[in-house]
Amino acid sequence: MCRLLAYLGSPIALEQLLYKPEHSLIIQSYQPREMISGVVNADGFGVGWYHTHKDTAPFTYRNTLPIWNDVNLPNLSRYIESKCVLAYVRSATPGQALDFANCQPFSHQQHLFIHNGYIENFRKTLYRKIRSTLTSDVYEHINGSTDSEHIFALLLSHIQLNQHRPPEYALRRTILTLEEMAKRYQVKALVNIVWSDGNRLIASRFATSTPAPSLYWLRDDLNYPNSVMIASEPLFKGNWTACPENSIISVGENCDIQIDKI
């Protein structure tokens, strides 16, 4: 399991998101409150963000070190500013390698993606099945071995195949496909996802069997006006709302929120 954080709104320094909150992602890396498996998130981390003024592909900074051991991130986070940020700290599934190819966020063109959860016994069950359904160029883009990257690849394939539909549709199709595969192989799948193209956030809280991993959203906090945050755990005291299980949460460019059942 991992801990996630996503932000969309007025431009903000990474430091304000990663270090300032009382229960920041840094704290959650070694003292999480709501993980349903694992104890710490010390198997790497990553941050992805979009340029505030230029329409460019997103930037990522990743490391296999625990986030508290990275000596560069505190200084970088003081000077990097963005209106859209995705970040996570990793608790690796047993058997998954600790290397950069397996570090999130994963990116492709304008897409950024983070995942909290797992597919049970992934390599022996859904690994080949998922790969067999991918479009050829997405298949060739896979670099690592995690279930998370394969879920991202499945989502990208559905986006490509349904370009005339909104990305919420592609995410729904991705989750329903995983649910069908998981039932066929009689395995559990936990699929908390956040996706972005730099202008919006789309997230899911889903599990084939309860409970689903925790996920919350917060809009227009006094200290973070004109913004929406999505996080595995509340970063500070405030009007955080638990996302319903088996739902998709959409955040538009104006920070409007829509929640739909899967």
| Residues 7-58: tens digit of each pLDDT | 999 999 999 999 999 999 999 999 999 988 778 989 999 999 999 988 899 9
Output the pLDDT for position 225.
94
Instruction: Look up residue 254 and give its DSSP letter.
Output: T
Output the pLDDT for position 224.
96
The catalytic residues are 2
Contact assessment for residue 196 and residue 202, using Cβ atoms and an 8 Å cutoff: yes
Length of the chain: 262
Report the share of the chain in percent with pLDDT over 90: 91
Output the pLDDT for position 37.
78
Name which of 200, 202, 194, 190 is nearest 245 in CA terms: 190
Contact assessment for residue 94 and residue 38, using Cβ atoms and an 8 Å cutoff: no
Contact assessment for residue 88 and residue 116, using Cβ atoms and an 8 Å cutoff: yes
Output the pLDDT for position 91.
87
> pLDDT band at residue 111, thresholds of 50, 70 and 90?
very high
